[in-house]
Structures are given as C-alpha cells and as structure tokens.
Chain A
C-alpha cells in the first residue's frame, strides 16, 4: 500500500474522468489513472480499446469530451516542453524528402524559434541521440531507405534530443525487429534510471514483466492500474481481454 500512497503524492501524469468521442458514442469513457514519478508504464488493452486515443488526449491532439489532464501538476500547455510524444510509425509519409538527421533535428526546432540558426551544438545533440539508438551510420540516409525498426529508432532519437522528463510512446515495438526492440528497451530503461518517466502503448503481454514496472489496463475504461508486481494478474488480463488470452498467460 505504501507504493499507492506515494503514487498519490506526486503523480507525473494524472488523468481524471477522461472521455473521448469521434462521432457520437465515446471510444473511451471514465478513464482515471495516475502515472507515478520515474515509472516505466505500459498501457495495455485489445485493439480498439482506446490506448492510442487516451495517449493522444493527454497531449491535446485528440479533443476531450470530458475530463482533466494534469502533467507535473499543470495543464499540458504549460509543460509542453517537458514532454516528448513519439507517434506511431505508420502515421507519417516515409517517402518524404528528409534524411535521418533532418528528422532528429526536428526535435530541437522549438528551442530555435522562427529565426534561430542551427548551430554545431544542435548537430552534436542530434549525433549523440543517433549514437544512443545505434543509427550513427545512417545520418545521411533518406528515411524511406530504412527498415521499420530503423525508422522507429529515428523517432526515438528525435524524442531523445527533446530532453523531456516524460516520454509518451505510441506502439514503439509495433513491426520492429528483435534487435531494435532490445535497443529501444535499453534506451528507455536508461532514461528511467535518470529519473525520467515513460509511458508506452504496448500490445505484447509476454514482455510486460520484463520491460515495465507499472501497468494501465484499458478497455474503453480503466480495468486496473498500478505496479506490474501487484496488478499484472490473470484476473485483470481476463477482464481486459476476455478468457482466451488469460489462458494463454497461464501457458507462458
């Protein structure tokens, strides 16, 4: 119970009474959860459960029908520069005429303003981020010439140059190779060890315990949220997905 009380003291992210609807019926409703400081949290749920929608509502891309979002105790607008959001890889045009380093450089644009120049210091940051995700040799490549895993690493590098305190990732492991998945997890755990908070939409139950220490089960509304040790139970998986998957968990 001590963990829960510390959670309530200073959550990095607090979602309260969130509902979102695209047309008439809400796709998520009555969503309440906290993400504690320094957590590495998975948002887990079946397809269409509203995982990505919830994340988008947090960063104000998706208009909310009801609810409040508090990040570091403030509204999103006030702490925008402390948050890094990594969209789904499929959401952009990979034939676009930019190189790997151009994409990563986009992460420092807000610090440049409209008229600021890109300085060697900024390029150094870009190169450092590319090194951390193991993509140094690809800086000059057009992004369309990369594999899916490499594209995801570039997105992660762009998030790294933002120097954020809260990282929100939408399906970072979707369609990537095993080596990339390992590399991404390593970078994320590294961030966590530096006191950053990480929230990732995730779809693979088999890796939850290895990668994450906090979990949010969602299926249109919150089924359970808390530490993986406590909440990652058959019962909660069962409630979120239905019985079929729960029996699979017994197998693994």
Chain B
C-alpha cells in the first residue's frame, strides 16, 4: 500500500511542513502571522478562475501548475489590497485583513459553485483545495511541491539576518542600509509562495495553521531565533510526515486536518512541558518561590521574636523541623533563624551601600546571598556590618 506515490507524497508533505515552519517563524517575528490568513483565503478566487479559463481554452484546468499560477495571482491581489488599506487608510491591519479575507473568499466560493453548474469535465476534486487532499495528487505534483519548498527555505536562509534585524529593530536596520521594503517583500511573498504551494496538501483554510503553529510551539523551547527556526522546521516537518502517512494508510483521512492536529499536539505539549516557559514549570516555580519566601519570613520572625500569624508559614517551619506543633522554636530553628537574619542584614547593606558599584543583582532577601555575590563582595559587606556593630556597641 505504501508505494512509490505515497512515499513521494509523504516526503513532499514533510518538506512542505518544514518550509512552512521556517517561513512562519520569520512571519511571526515580523508580527504579521495573520497576514497569511488573508493570503490563503484570497487564493480560492484565482484558483477557480484559472480552472475556468484554461478549461474554456480546451486545456487541462486541473493541472497543478495552472491552479498554482491562478492562486498566486489572486493571492497577490489580496496581499496588495491589505497593504493598500493599511498604508492609505486609518484601518488597522486586523480590520484590513478581515475585509480582504472575507471578500476574496466569498468571491471564490461563488465561483466554485458556478463551476459546479457549468458542463466542464474534470472538475471533481477542486474542493479538495479547501481542506486539502492528496487523493488525486500525481508524482510530478509531489516533486513540484518539494522543489518549491526547498527553494523557499534557501531564500529565507539567505535573507535571515536582514529579516532578523528588521524585525527586532527596524530603525537600526535602516541605518545599516537594510531595505525595509525589500525585506518585507521577501517575508510577504515568501509566505504567499508557501501558502500557494501548500494549498493542495493542507487546503487553504488550514494552511495558516501550518505557518503559525510550529513557530509558536518552537518559541516555547528557545530564546534564540536560530534555534526557533530549526525547531519550527522540525515540528512542521514532523507534522507533515505523520499527517501524510496517516492519510496514506487510512482511507478518507483528511490529510490537511491530520497534519494540523499533529502540530497542535506538539504545540500543547510545548505549552505544558517547556522547561523554561511551560505551564508546569511556572506552577512549580511559583510554589517553590512561595515556599522559600514563607520560610525566610518565618525565620526572620523567629529571629526578631515576632509572632507568626500565617498558618502556611507555621506549617512550612514545622515541616523543616524549626517549629514544634505547640509553636515553640527548636534548636535547629534558632540556628536557622540566625542564619536568615545574617542573610537579611547582608542584603540590606548590599542594597543601601554597595549595589551601585557592581552590576545589579536583584535584592531578594530570601535568596542566599553567597550564591549571588562574589566572596570579595561578601567580605566587604561583612566588614561594613562589623563596623556598624562596633559603633552600636
């Protein structure tokens, strides 16, 4: 069952996914992710028109090349319309995208239904471009998709530094002689190309997911663009591979939707499990910091002989063996309280006297100061404390 054709389709979906991941990352950095939605919805009208025109001329309207050219033309018109509205009116890009997206899509849907009425052959499968389908895909289509996807990745990699600087600091980019216009052109038309190439596999409604989800998921795993691009490519490629394989084995499985569901699974996993930005780690961090602060505040209260009102603080002190159930302080508790007091006094000296001299360390009293400052700094703090105690005595 997993023949040559299926193999081609899976590999082209994989390369497409990776390419969309790379492109999507740069689009995401440029804060223009939703633009891809306007582009993809604008393709339908051109696709239908190209089919009509070529069929009327006696050609093969179902040819992938014909459909790609048609969708490119109308997507370009859609993109130009969004840019015109944003640049020449007071509409924000969200409203401009909304207007263009819905208008072009409605036009496309009307034309599709016109095609259904007309007596033209081979129109079956056109609606596959809405939600994606590999059913009617030919080997040469798969090769075309693969080659175009690879070319796009190369283009993005060549211009990666320009896009990075323009996205991060457009003013600086201009002083470096980087053209904003050219860079934005590459990002937008690169997105347009990925969208058009991905239409037949993922479908125009869901292609936006393949552009946005892998990069959004990858953002959870790194703070560096280079790593995010590679991660997004892997996520996108994996989604394409799994999605296309499933649809090769399971008859009638909607390939585009499966691809998107795989990438959504990766996204949810990233959201939960990311070691730095994930939900689990932030819950753990919150609990840990609450525990440490309660402990430090409780010990300070013990050291300064103040009553502890909060139940949670008492419980934490008890669990550490610093407090007996009756509320009296244990010997280890007294020791720990003295250590905490010393820590606090050292931090106070640091914030009030010395912080300006060094690079700044956030003065959080519950952190162990010896883990945050150098031995030299500690010694000078202690000298200061010693002098203060002498003058008080």
Q: Interface on chain A toward B: helix, strand, loop, or mixed SS?
A: mixed
B164 at the binding interface (Cβ < 8 Å): yes
Given contacts A97-B228, A102-B224, contact A112 B169 (CB under 8 A): no
Contact call A61/B168, Cβ cutoff below 8 A: no
Contact call B161/A87, Cβ cutoff below 8 A: no
Contact call A98/B171, Cβ cutoff below 8 A: no
Given contacts A98-B168, A106-B169, A179-B357, contact A142 B223 (CB under 8 A): yes
CB contacts (< 8 Å) of A120 on chain B: these are none
B338 at the binding interface (Cβ < 8 Å): no
Contact call A177/B175, Cβ cutoff below 8 A: no
B222 at the binding interface (Cβ < 8 Å): yes
Given A97-B219, A97-B228, 9 more pairs with CB closer than 8 A: A92-B172, A96-B168, A97-B224, A98-B164, A99-B224, A114-B162, A115-B158, A135-B359, A179-B359
Contact call A102/B177, Cβ cutoff below 8 A: no
Min C-beta distance of A63 to chain B, whole Å: 12
B176 at the binding interface (Cβ < 8 Å): yes
Q: Interface on chain B toward A: helix, strand, loop, or mixed SS?
A: helix
Given contacts A59-B175, A80-B177, A114-B159, contact A99 B223 (CB under 8 A): yes
B263 at the binding interface (Cβ < 8 Å): no
Partner of B360, one of A91, A102, A177: A177
B253 at the binding interface (Cβ < 8 Å): no
Given contacts A61-B175, A98-B224, A98-B225, contact A109 B161 (CB under 8 A): yes
CB contacts (< 8 Å) of A97 on chain B: these are 29, 219, 222-225, 228
Contact call A87/B171, Cβ cutoff below 8 A: yes
* Contact residues of B between 173 and 209, Cβ < 8 Å to A: 174-177
Partner of A80, one of B165, B175, B357: B175
Tell me the bound Cα distance from A99 to B223 in angstroms: 7
Partner of B175, one of A85, A137, A138: A85
CB contacts (< 8 Å) of A177 on chain B: these are 356, 360
A83 at the binding interface (Cβ < 8 Å): yes
B239 at the binding interface (Cβ < 8 Å): no
CB contacts (< 8 Å) of A80 on chain B: these are 175-177
Tell me the bound Cα distance from A147 to B361 in angstroms: 10
Query: Number of A residues contacting the other chain (C-beta, 8 Å)?
Result: 36
User: From B356, which residue of chain A is reached at the shortest CB distance?
Assistant: A179
Given contacts A61-B175, A83-B175, A98-B224, contact A103 B161 (CB under 8 A): no
Min C-beta distance of B170 to chain A, whole Å: 8
User: From A91, which residue of chain B is reached at the shortest CB distance?
Assistant: B171
Partner of B176, one of A96, A99, A109: A109
Tell me the bound Cα distance from A112 to B158 in angstroms: 12
The 10 closest A-B pairs by CB, nearest first: A142-B223, A85-B175, A87-B171, A92-B169, A179-B356, A59-B175, A96-B168, A97-B223, A109-B161, A61-B174
Contact residues on B (Cβ < 8 Å of other chain), bracket:
20 to 34
Name the residue among B176, B219, B222, B223 with the largest chain A CB count within 10 angstroms.
B223
CB contacts (< 8 Å) of A114 on chain B: these are 158-159, 161-162
Tell me the bound Cα distance from A114 to B186 in angstroms: 14
Per-position binary interface string of chain B over residues 203-232, scored 1 when its CB falls under 8 Å from any chain A CB and 0 otherwise: 000000000000000010011110010000
User: From B172, which residue of chain A is reached at the shortest CB distance?
Assistant: A87
Tell me the bound Cα distance from A247 to B331 in angstroms: 64
Tell me the bound Cα distance from A60 to B224 in angstroms: 30
Min C-beta distance of A233 to chain B, whole Å: 33
A93 at the binding interface (Cβ < 8 Å): yes
Min C-beta distance of B216 to chain A, whole Å: 12
CB contacts (< 8 Å) of B12 on chain A: these are none
CB contacts (< 8 Å) of A103 on chain B: these are 168
Contact call B169/A91, Cβ cutoff below 8 A: yes
Contact call A60/B174, Cβ cutoff below 8 A: yes
CB contacts (< 8 Å) of A109 on chain B: these are 161, 165, 176
Min C-beta distance of A149 to chain B, whole Å: 8
Per-position binary interface string of chain B over residues 324-350, scored 1 when its CB falls under 8 Å from any chain A CB and 0 otherwise: 000000000000000000000000000
Tell me the bound Cα distance from A98 to B169 in angstroms: 11
Per-position binary interface string of chain A over residues 28-60, scored 1 when its CB falls under 8 Å from any chain B CB and 0 otherwise: 000000000000000000000000000010011
CB contacts (< 8 Å) of A178 on chain B: these are 356
A67 at the binding interface (Cβ < 8 Å): no
CB contacts (< 8 Å) of A179 on chain B: these are 356-357, 359-360
Min C-beta distance of B159 to chain A, whole Å: 7
Min C-beta distance of B233 to chain A, whole Å: 15
Q: Would you list 14 pairs from A and B whose C-beta atoms are within 8 A, ordered by A residue?
A: A59-B175, A61-B174, A80-B177, A87-B172, A96-B29, A97-B219, A99-B223, A106-B161, A106-B165, A106-B172, A109-B165, A110-B177, A134-B359, A179-B360
CB contacts (< 8 Å) of A115 on chain B: these are 158
* Contact residues of B between 123 and 181, Cβ < 8 Å to A: 158-159, 161-162, 164-165, 167-169, 171-172, 174-177
Min C-beta distance of B262 to chain A, whole Å: 24
CB contacts (< 8 Å) of B177 on chain A: these are 80, 110
Min C-beta distance of B131 to chain A, whole Å: 32
* Contact residues of A between 99 and 144, Cβ < 8 Å to B: 99, 102-103, 106, 109-110, 112, 114-115, 134-135, 137-138, 142
User: From B223, which residue of chain A is reached at the shortest CB distance?
Assistant: A142
Name the residue among B168, B174, B175, B223 with the largest chain A CB count within 10 angstroms.
B175
Contact call B168/A106, Cβ cutoff below 8 A: yes
Min C-beta distance of A65 to chain B, whole Å: 19
CB contacts (< 8 Å) of A147 on chain B: these are 360
User: From B167, which residue of chain A is reached at the shortest CB distance?
Assistant: A96
CB contacts (< 8 Å) of B162 on chain A: these are 114
Given contacts A96-B29, A137-B359, A177-B360, contact A110 B224 (CB under 8 A): no
Given contacts A99-B223, A134-B359, A147-B360, contact A93 B168 (CB under 8 A): yes
